[in-house]
């Protein structure tokens, strides 16, 4: 898990589709803070204005700078903004850098070492020197309460005086946050609720209780998730408090915060449930990918699952299996999308199927289990700023260490000397000597060549060009493995998906990854350089709740199940901004008796629980996931409810139509013959809908660059998306 970033620099671009004289529509802005840059997407009067500025410490300073920059370009005052959505890296940075709050853990007597013991599985089975990450709470700050609750209820109640004495010890220890996770509190929270209430009365620090954070069984994961919530909560509270205050001073509405589940929530809700903000930026990128290209990919339209087997709206394009016409790209119907976000520090990969982002409740960040619902994103330390190096065995490696924003890649001319993926792209000709990153920062091409020359000498390669080819190949291999991990390793054929590339560096590598995976179609959204910010404009408001029930499906009482669902509905609706507009989804985590893992299946939205229908859905889901189903007893482990308030879909229209050709330059395309050729260079924003591009070509934008290699062709779709298709088979 690495910090996020982008590979471009300070920039502002604009796509206009309507004259400014028409009446003003609702103005919305999305701001995503990455590890290196802060991205902005502003929708006003059917225009999309984008901006990119360096991230700052504290982050809210860069957020306001980005808003002011975008608003200035749109000729509006920030006070004219109607809606403000935001994604940030505060919580994930606190976890990765281990600089969160001084946290204490209060648990049942005899269970203070749950965080230390964890699970018996070893991520590096044959590594005798492997070390588990240190728990967030050291043993001296883990405290016990003499109480006992079983799965059937309270056996030994809490002694309030003991808890008050404990509060005095916590006060003396000068802790900044407290996590409370008592045994079986998911089944009966009475004891835990009493402990949390007393601590909140006695202390002036935030207290996170497991029955409020994650009312779900599995002691280690529940305790870990609750501890993470407490650990990041003070930082989230301070950051959002400052941001809300600064926004109010500027006349901007308070921000809706992106959660890891792909939906937004109000600031006060997030401040109470800080753990939900982990990976909020990558989640926004996946939402943005589905919103911008979902309709043209055949994967549905922003949540509409559709019927991919019968596309009545598509034109007759003959034999799609043999066609090389890029115009056919808009009519094909792949199974879904593989989203590929390559920034300056890392690359994030996820799946969108049936128009919806894949979600998970089984995630880890830096070895810390977090069981809250989140978009299923796999992250690898390979970005534009990832440093290339030679290991002890003489092999060329890329990442996970990054040059960051300061000093950055050698080509940035800011004092960086170590070779990066961006420097390799400069040497290969994908980023030209005349390119001004972000429209402002010129490149130091000589510094890039010098850095790759030094790498070539160390790796015993023949000069900067061969080293650049090696860096490009190694980085692509790393990202290809990550894509395989979310497709092939989960039973999906990547050839049945379209690859959506975005981020500052993603479109430069997308076609090469598609070649390696035999993917036939690559989509690059028009706002691809700031797609996470754009995704904030497309996000719904969303809230989740879960409770463990642990009953055999055949003996589950419909009345009891309905009662639990009613409680869960009350929980999620309590956080919704407009309960009348909320759409409710009910689901159940099921498994065969004796299994140690579950699959989530939908339950009737009206709350009626049909055991036979749930069993059928589970059998189908199990066969679809694992290739078989069993004639065994089914258990209902957890019940889940999600409340969603649909957001307004952002409009992305694109006109272009100017002189798009900038010139040509020599570019090198690693392949079987290590091809070199003259690539046509285009200013992408000037390419009108319907324009076609034959590779080799380079499409430049302020926030990102797209490479169309030999054997590929592309077409500009009506919303400005570039649809690339393979025109010939390339051998690696």
Paired with 363 in beta bridges are: 370
Query: Looking at residue 320, what is its pLDDT?
Result: 37
What are the residues whose beta carbons fall under 8 Å from the beta carbon of 285, sequence distance 6 or more?
A: 32, 339, 341, 348, 502, 503, 531, 532, 535
- DSSP3 helix / strand / coil % (the chain, rounded to 5): 35, 25, 40
Query: Looking at residue 25, what is its pLDDT?
Result: 66
Is the pLDDT at 435 greater than 80, yes or no? no
Percentage of the chain lying above the pLDDT 90 cut: 65
Residue 335 binned pLDDT confidence (cut-offs 50, 70, 90): confident
Region of poorest pLDDT, from 4-8, 101-105, 394-398, 456-460 = 4-8
DSSP E strands, 560-660: 583-592, 599-603, 634-645
Mean predicted confidence (pLDDT) in 578-591: 94
Query: Looking at residue 82, what is its pLDDT?
Result: 93
Query: Looking at residue 293, what is its pLDDT?
Result: 75
Q: What digits encode the pLDDT tens for the residues 36-72?
A: 788 999 998 778 899 888 888 888 999 999 999 999 9
- CATH fold group of domain 541-645: Dna Ligase; domain 1 (3.30.1490)
d(CA 257, CA 107): 31
Handedness of CA 91, 641, 85, 237 (dihedral sign): negative
Supply the DSSP string of 60-106, one letter for each residue: HHHHHHHHHHHHHHHT--GGG--EEEEE--HHHHHHHHT-S--EEEE
Q: Could you tell me if 322 and 335 are in contact, meaning their C-beta atoms sit under 8 angstroms apart?
A: no
Query: Looking at residue 490, what is its pLDDT?
Result: 85
Grouping H, G, I as helix, E, B as strand and the rest as coil, residue 306 is: coil
Q: What digits encode the pLDDT tens for the residues 626-667?
A: 889 999 999 999 999 999 999 887 777 777 777 899 899 999
Q: Could you tell me if 30 and 284 are in contact, meaning their C-beta atoms sit under 8 angstroms apart?
A: yes
Query: Looking at residue 364, what is its pLDDT?
Result: 87
Q: What digits encode the pLDDT tens for the residues 449-505?
A: 999 999 999 999 999 999 999 999 999 999 999 999 999 988 889 999 999 999 888
One fold for 96-236 and 541-645? no
Range 479-483 contact pairs with CB under 8 angstroms and sequence separation of 24 or more: 479/340, 479/342, 479/347, 479/349, 479/380, 479/382, 479/509, 479/513, 480/513, 480/516, 480/517, 481/380, 482/347, 482/349, 482/378, 482/380, 482/382, 483/338, 483/340, 483/349, 483/513, 483/517
Q: What digits encode the pLDDT tens for the residues 245-284?
A: 999 999 999 999 999 999 999 999 999 999 999 989 899 9
Question: Between the CA of residue 383 and those of 347, 388, 398, 431, what are the distances in Å?
Answer: 6, 11, 9, 15
Residue with tokens 């090389």: 324
Helix (H) or strand (E) holding 611: helix 611-626
d(CA 82, CA 65): 18
Query: Looking at residue 656, what is its pLDDT?
Result: 76
d(CA 616, CA 626): 15
Enter the DSSP assignment of 371: -
Query: Looking at residue 672, what is its pLDDT?
Result: 47
Query: Looking at residue 731, what is its pLDDT?
Result: 53
- Reference 38, options 68, 14, 59, 13; nearest CA is 59
Query: Looking at residue 131, what is its pLDDT?
Result: 78
Mean predicted confidence (pLDDT) in 273-298: 82
Q: What digits encode the pLDDT tens for the residues 398-408?
A: 988 888 767 88
Mean predicted confidence (pLDDT) in 423-440: 78
Is the pLDDT at 97 greater than 60, yes or no? yes
Query: Looking at residue 315, what is its pLDDT?
Result: 34
Is the pLDDT at 106 greater than 70, yes or no? yes
Query: Looking at residue 205, what is its pLDDT?
Result: 96
d(CA 227, CA 137): 8
Is the pLDDT at 571 greater than 50, yes or no? yes
Query: Looking at residue 294, what is its pLDDT?
Result: 57
Other C-beta atoms lying within 10 Å of the C-beta of residue 521? 23
Residue with tokens 């960086």: 416
Question: Between the CA of residue 18 and those of 74, 291, 401, 731, what are the distances in Å?
Answer: 13, 21, 44, 45
Query: Looking at residue 121, what is its pLDDT?
Result: 76
Query: Looking at residue 636, what is its pLDDT?
Result: 96
d(CA 701, CA 698): 10
Query: Looking at residue 334, what is its pLDDT?
Result: 61
Q: What digits encode the pLDDT tens for the residues 210-248?
A: 999 999 999 999 999 999 999 999 999 999 999 999 999
Domain positions in the chain: 11-95+237-277, 96-236, 541-645
Mean predicted confidence (pLDDT) in 138-165: 96
Helix (H) or strand (E) holding 12: strand 11-15
The H helix count followed by the E strand count for the chain is 16, 38
Q: What is the CA radius of gyration of the chain?
A: 26
Is the pLDDT at 327 greater than 60, yes or no? no
Mean predicted confidence (pLDDT) in 369-380: 91
* Mean of all residue pLDDT scores within the chain: 86
Q: Does domain 11-95+237-277 have CATH number 3.40.190.170?
A: no
d(CA 668, CA 440): 25
Query: Looking at residue 234, what is its pLDDT?
Result: 97
Query: Looking at residue 675, what is its pLDDT?
Result: 64
Q: What digits encode the pLDDT tens for the residues 670-726?
A: 764 556 778 999 999 899 999 999 989 999 988 889 999 999 999 999 888 999 999
CATH number given to 96-236 = 3.40.50
Most confident of 22-26, 538-542, 654-658: 538-542
Query: Looking at residue 420, what is its pLDDT?
Result: 95
Query: Looking at residue 730, what is its pLDDT?
Result: 54
């Amino acid at each position: 898990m690495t910090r996020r970033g982008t590979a471009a620099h300070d920039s502002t671009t604009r796509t206009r589709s309507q004259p400014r004289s028409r009446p003003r529509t609702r103005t919305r802005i999305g701001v995503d803070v990455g590890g290196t840059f802060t991205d902005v997407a502003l929708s006003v009067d059917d225009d999309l204005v984008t901006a990119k500025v360096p991230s700052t410490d504290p982050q809210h300073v860069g957020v306001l700078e980005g808003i002011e920059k975008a608003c200035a370009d749109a000729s509006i005052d920030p006070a004219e903004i109607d809606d403000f959505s935001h994604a940030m890296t505060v919580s994930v940075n606190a976890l990765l850098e281990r600089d969160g709050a001084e946290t204490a853990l209060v648990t049942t007597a005899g269970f203070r070492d749950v965080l230390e013991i964890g699970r018996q599985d070893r991520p590096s089975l044959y590594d005798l020197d492997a070390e588990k990450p240190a728990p967030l709470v050291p043993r001296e700050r883990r405290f016990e309460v003499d109480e006992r609750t079983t799965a059937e209820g309270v056996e030994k109640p809490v002694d309030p005086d003991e808890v008050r004495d404990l509060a005095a010890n916590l006060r003396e220890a000068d802790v900044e946050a407290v996590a409370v996770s008592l045994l079986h509190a998911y089944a009966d929270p009475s004891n835990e609720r009493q402990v949390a209430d007393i601590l909140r009365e006695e202390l002036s620090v935030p207290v996170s209780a497991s029955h409020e954070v994650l009312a779900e069984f599995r002691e280690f994961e529940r305790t870990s998730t609750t501890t993470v919530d407490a650990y990041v909560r003070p930082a989230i509270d301070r950051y959002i408090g400052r941001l809300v205050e600064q926004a109010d001073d500027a006349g901007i509405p308070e921000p809706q915060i992106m959660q890891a589940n792909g939906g937004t929530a109000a600031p006060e809700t997030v401040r109470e449930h800080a753990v939900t903000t982990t990976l909020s930026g990558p989640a926004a990128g996946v939402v943005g990918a589905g919103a911008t290209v979902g309709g043209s990919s055949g994967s549905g339209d922003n949540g509409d699952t559709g019927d991919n087997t019968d596309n009545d709206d598509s034109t007759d394009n003959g034999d799609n299996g043999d066609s090389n016409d890029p115009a056919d790209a808009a009519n094909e119907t792949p199974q879904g999308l593989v989203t590929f976000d390559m920034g300056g520090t890392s690359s994030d990969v996820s799946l969108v199927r049936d128009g919806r982002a894949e979600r998970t409740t089984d995630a880890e960040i830096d070895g810390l289990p977090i069981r809250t619902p989140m978009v299923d994103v796999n992250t690898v330390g390979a970005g534009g700023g990832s440093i290339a190096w030679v290991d002890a065995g003489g092999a060329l490696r890329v990442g996970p260490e990054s040059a960051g924003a300061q000093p950055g890649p050698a080509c940035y001319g800011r004092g960086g000397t170590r070779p990066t993926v961006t420097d390799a792209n400069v040497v290969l000709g994908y980023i030209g000597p005349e390119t001004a990153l972000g429209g402002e920062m010129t490149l130091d091409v000589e510094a890039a060549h010098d850095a790759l020359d030094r790498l070539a000498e160390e790796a015993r390669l023949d000069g900067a060009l061969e080293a650049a080819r090696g860096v490009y190949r190694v980085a692509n291999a790393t990202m290809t493995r990550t894509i395989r991990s979310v497709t092939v390793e989960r039973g999906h054929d990547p050839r049945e998906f379209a690859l959506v590339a975005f981020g500052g560096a993603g479109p430069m590598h997308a076609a090469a990854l598609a070649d390696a995976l035999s993917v036939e179609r690559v989509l690059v959204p028009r706002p691809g350089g700031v797609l996470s910010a754009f995704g904030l404009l497309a996000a719904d408001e969303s809230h989740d709740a879960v409770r463990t029930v642990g009953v055999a499906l055949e003996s589950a009482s419909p009345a009891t199940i309905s009662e639990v669902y009613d409680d869960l509905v009350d929980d999620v609706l309590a956080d919704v901004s407009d309960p009348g507009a909320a759409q409710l989804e009910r689901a159940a985590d099921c498994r065969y008796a004796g299994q140690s893992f579950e699959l989530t299946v939908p339950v009737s939205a009206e709350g009626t629980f049909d055991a036979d229908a749930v069993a059928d859905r589970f059998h189908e889901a199990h066969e679809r996931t694992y290739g078989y189903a069993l004639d065994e007893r089914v258990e209902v482990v957890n019940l889940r409810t999600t409340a969603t308030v649909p957001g307004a879909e952002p409009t992305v229209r694109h006109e272009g139509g100017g002189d798009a050709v900038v010139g040509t330059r020599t570019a090198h395309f690693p392949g079987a013959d290590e091809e070199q050729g003259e690539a046509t260079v285009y200013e992408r924003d000037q390419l009108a809908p319907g324009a076609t591009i034959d590779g080799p070509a380079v499409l430049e934008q302020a926030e990102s660059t797209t490479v169309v290699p030999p054997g590929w062709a592309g077409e500009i779709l009506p919303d400005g998306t570039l649809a690339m298709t393979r025109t010939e088979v390339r051998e690696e």
